[in-house]
Amino acid sequence: MVNCGCGLLTANKEPVPLKSVDVEVAVRDHVATVSATLLYENGEQSPIEAVFIFPLPGDAAVCHFSAKIGQSEVVAEVREKQKAREEYDDALSSGQQAFLLEESEQSPDVFSLSVGSLPPGESASIRLEYVTELAVQADDGLRFCLPAVLNPRYQPRGEDGGGGTLSCGPGTSVPASLVPYSLTLSASVCSPRPIDKVESNCSLDPVQYLDQQQTRATVKLASGHKFDRDVELLLYYKDAHLPTAVVEAGRPSATPGSLMGDPVVMLSLYPEFSPLAMSSMTKSGEFLFVIDRSGSMDCPMGTAGPSQMRIDSAKETLLLLLKSLPIGCHFNIYSFGSSYTHIFPNSVVYSQKTMDEALKEIKGMKANMEGTEILEPLKHIFKQPCIPSQPRQLFVFTDGEVCFSFGIGEGASTALINGLAKEGGGHAQFISGADRMQPKVMQSLRYALQPAVVDISVTWDVPEGVSVTPLSPPITNLFQGQRSLIYGQLTGQSWGDAEGCVTVKYSLAGQPTQNQLRFSLQPTEDTGLTAHRLGARALICSLEAESKEQGDQSDGVKAKEKAIEVSIQSGVSSSLTAFIAVNKGSGEAVQGDDDDEPKFKVCSTNGIIFINENVCTKAQVEKDCASFESADEPSQAPKDPMLQLVSLQRASGSWLLESPLATALGKTLQEVESSKPESVSPEVWATVLAVTWLHGFKMDAQVEWEFLAMKAVSWLHGEKVPCLTECLRAGNLLLGCQVQESSMGM
How confident is the model over 615-634, as a mean pLDDT? 37
SS3 9: strand
Alpha carbon distance 137, 139 (integer Å):
5
DSSP state of 576: T
Alpha carbon distance 528, 209 (integer Å):
23
Task: Report residue 511: phi and psi, to 5°.
Answer: -115, 130
pLDDT in tens, 695-706: 999 998 888 898
How confident is the model over 582-596, as a mean pLDDT? 47
pLDDT number for residue 225:
72
Query: Quick check: 34 and 130 in contact, CB under 8 A?
Result: yes
Alpha carbon distance 210, 187 (integer Å):
13
Query: Quick check: 617 and 382 in contact, CB under 8 A?
Result: yes
pLDDT range class, residue 261, cuts 50, 70, 90: very high
pLDDT number for residue 40:
77
Alpha helices in 552-700 (DSSP H): 554-570, 618-623, 641-647, 659-664, 669-674, 682-697
pLDDT range class, residue 586, cuts 50, 70, 90: very low
Buried residues in 604-631 as b, exposed as e (16+ CB within 10 A): bbbbbbbbbbbebeeebbeebbebbbbb
How confident is the model over 259-274, as a mean pLDDT? 86
pLDDT in tens, 353-381: 999 999 999 999 998 888 777 788 888 98
Alpha carbon distance 600, 536 (integer Å):
11
pTM, two decimals, is 0.74
Query: Quick check: 431 and 608 in contact, CB under 8 A?
Result: yes
Task: Report residue 308: phi and psi, to 5°.
Answer: -65, 150
Q: Are strands 182-190 and 18-28 parallel, antiparallel or unpaired?
A: parallel
Which helix (H) or strand (E) covers residue 458, if one does?
A: strand 453-461
pLDDT number for residue 419:
54
Using only C-alpha atoms, the chain has a radius of gyration, in whole angstroms, of 27
User: What is the DSSP secondary-structure string of 92-160?
Assistant: HHTT-EEEEEEE-SS-TTEEEEEEEEE-TT-EEEEEEEEEEEPEEPTTS-EEEEE------EEE-TTTT
Query: Quick check: 689 and 731 in contact, CB under 8 A?
Result: yes
Query: Quick check: 580 and 98 in contact, CB under 8 A?
Result: yes
pLDDT number for residue 590:
38
Among 42-56, 65-79, 292-306, 532-546, name the most confident range: 532-546
The dihedral region occupied by 496, where left means phi > 0, alpha psi between -120 and 50, and beta the remainder, is left
pLDDT in tens, 639-684: 689 999 999 999 999 999 999 999 999 999 999 999 999 889 999 9
Query: Quick check: 169 and 249 in contact, CB under 8 A?
Result: no
